[in-house]
Amino acid sequence: MTDLPLVRLKNAWKSTHPWIFQRLVEKPEQRPKPGSIVDVVGVDGQWIGRGFYNGHSRIAVRILETDPDVAVDEHWFARKIAAAVSLRRDFLKLDAVGDAWRVVHSEGDGLSGLVVDRYADLLVVEFFSAGMFRHREWIYAALTEQFPGCRFFSFADEHVQKQESFDYRLQSAVPAAIISEYGIRFRADPAGAHKTGFFADQRDNRQWLSERVEGKSVLDLCCNTGGFGVYAAVRGAAEVTGVDIDNDVLEIARGNARLNNARVKFVQADIFPWLRDAGLRGEAFDVVILDPAKMTRDREQVIPALKKYLDMNKLALGVVKPGGLLATFSCTGLVSEEQFLDMLRRAAYYAGRTVQVLRVSGAGADHPVLASVPESRYLKAVFCRVLD
């Protein structure tokens, strides 16, 4: 095994979390390039692990391997990605459900800084670390081995590139994919002008909810490309209304409805005034879905984000029929499940409604979470009856 650069910690290390922050690391005499593979030793010189080093990032080291005899190389990536695919295909049997699922979920699959989503033959690779970006050819080779003939679209958000100190020009667009999930079809176009992929993390939540909508009126707020609304229409809802402020995604939602011969009324509007007006008109629905976009990635903005969640949930509760169902979601990772449930309690109080929580869930099992990395459990889903 080739000798690797050595990174030494300042303090004793007993955690199993894969992140080691900059303040805990001695500055190497010869600083490796961002994303280089290094060996990590403790203050006493004892070997701790092997992973990516980045002297420019808040996360100095991402531990990948804790066996000193195992090299982190192209064969290591091939094994890890094969194991991730086996979990989805052999254990979770996701091919029987559809062809849109998460292939790699970063820390949950032991690949810190890498997310891969499958949309039929299109694999979308997102880099969250300089290390994964630096070794992307190994990743592509391992994925091609599992999905022969697949297409790739790769990207990294600008804020990630800035934090991790790497530059990645967005590649040219690739054709959209038509995916199937529980027999329902959707267009996924993550490389198109509007970057509309598909939220595979909501698959189990869409399915569970769609089993309870037959003959009912359904309101899908922040509907995006129509996932919940199209499911509801296909599963026999009497009427479905989808509301979103972005007219571009609504055009895609209309296309998704047409793909399934589903009748959905889509409305371009800000949900706050729309809900206030609906309340004044006395409109009410049997099922209301509220699935807004991520509110913040800044810890300093969590309280304002919770206030916004409170306001929109209070308004949404106001248009649920007595005995009806509210499905409310948060994909803001910095908001905990406890905080989200407390927000819902307060929203029900201010709305003057009695809420009975039936189910609390999150993303599907193709988004596994290590017990030592609870922050990777980002999606909160709460299904509740509104009793009066």
pTM: 0.93
Helix (H) or strand (E) holding 326: strand 320-330
Q: How far apart are CA 140 and CA 77, in angstroms?
A: 10
8-state DSSP, 9: B
41 neighbors 8 (Cβ within 8 angstroms): yes
In the structure encoding, which two tokens stand for residue 110, read together? 């032991």
pLDDT of the residue at 2:
73
Q: Does some domain include residue 381?
A: yes
Q: Does some domain include residue 183?
A: no
Q: What angle do CA 277, 280, 283 make, to 5 degrees?
A: 85
Helix (H) or strand (E) holding 343: helix 337-351
> Are residues 236 and 356 both part of a single domain?
yes
> Are residues 324 and 203 both part of a single domain?
yes
362 neighbors 335 (Cβ within 8 angstroms): no
> Are residues 81 and 60 both part of a single domain?
no
User: Does residue 231 register a pLDDT over 80?
Assistant: yes
> Are residues 351 and 213 both part of a single domain?
yes
Domain end residue (candidates: 113, 142, 164): 164
Q: How far apart are CA 226 and CA 260, in angstroms?
A: 12
CATH code for position 218: 3.40.50.150
The confidence band for 11, taking pLDDT boundaries of 50, 70 and 90, is confident
> Are residues 79 and 47 both part of a single domain?
no
pLDDT, tens digit (0-9, with 9 covering 90-100), for 276-328: 999 999 999 999 999 999 999 888 999 999 999 999 999 999 999 999 999 99
The confidence band for 197, taking pLDDT boundaries of 50, 70 and 90, is confident
> Are residues 96 and 28 both part of a single domain?
no
| Lowest mean pLDDT segment, chosen from 43-47, 73-77, 256-260 | 43-47
pLDDT of the residue at 88:
98
| Lowest mean pLDDT segment, chosen from 79-83, 128-132, 169-173 | 169-173
Q: Does some domain include residue 245?
A: yes
- Counting the structural domains of the chain, the total is 3
The confidence band for 196, taking pLDDT boundaries of 50, 70 and 90, is low
Domain that holds residue 223: 199-386
pLDDT of the residue at 337:
95
CATH code for position 126: 3.30.750.80
Alpha helices in 90-157 (DSSP H): 130-134, 136-146
Domain end residue (candidates: 65, 94, 110): 65
> Are residues 279 and 358 both part of a single domain?
yes
> Are residues 292 and 157 both part of a single domain?
no
User: Does residue 79 register a pLDDT over 80?
Assistant: yes
Q: What angle do CA 204, 235, 238 make, to 5 degrees?
A: 130
Contacts of 59 (CB under 8 A, 6+ apart): 19, 20, 21, 22, 129
One-letter amino acid of 283? E
In the structure encoding, which two tokens stand for residue 93, read together? 């049997």
308 C-beta neighbours (distance < 10 Å), count: 16
Cα torsion through 265, 269, 271, 272, rounded to 10? -140
Average pLDDT (10-24) is 92
198 neighbors 119 (Cβ within 8 angstroms): yes
The set of long-range contacts for 15-19, using a CB threshold of 8 Å and a minimum separation of 24, is 15/372, 16/372, 17/372, 17/373, 18/51, 18/62, 18/63, 18/64, 18/107, 18/110, 18/112, 18/372, 18/373, 19/59, 19/61, 19/62, 19/63, 19/112
Average pLDDT (102-125) is 97
pLDDT of the residue at 316:
98
Q: Does some domain include residue 173?
A: no
What is the percent of the chain with per-residue pLDDT over 70, rounded to a whole number? 98
User: Does residue 364 register a pLDDT over 70?
Assistant: yes
The confidence band for 170, taking pLDDT boundaries of 50, 70 and 90, is confident
The confidence band for 173, taking pLDDT boundaries of 50, 70 and 90, is confident
pLDDT of the residue at 194:
54
> Are residues 332 and 254 both part of a single domain?
yes
Q: List the one residue out of 199, 196, 201, 187 whose CA is nearest residue 120.
A: 187
> Are residues 22 and 139 both part of a single domain?
no
Average pLDDT (186-209) is 84
| Lowest mean pLDDT segment, chosen from 88-92, 171-175, 239-243, 316-320 | 171-175
Q: List the one residue out of 183, 229, 172, 174 whose CA is nearest residue 206.
A: 229
- As a whole number, the mean pLDDT across the chain is 95
User: Does residue 77 register a pLDDT over 90?
Assistant: yes
Average pLDDT (345-361) is 98
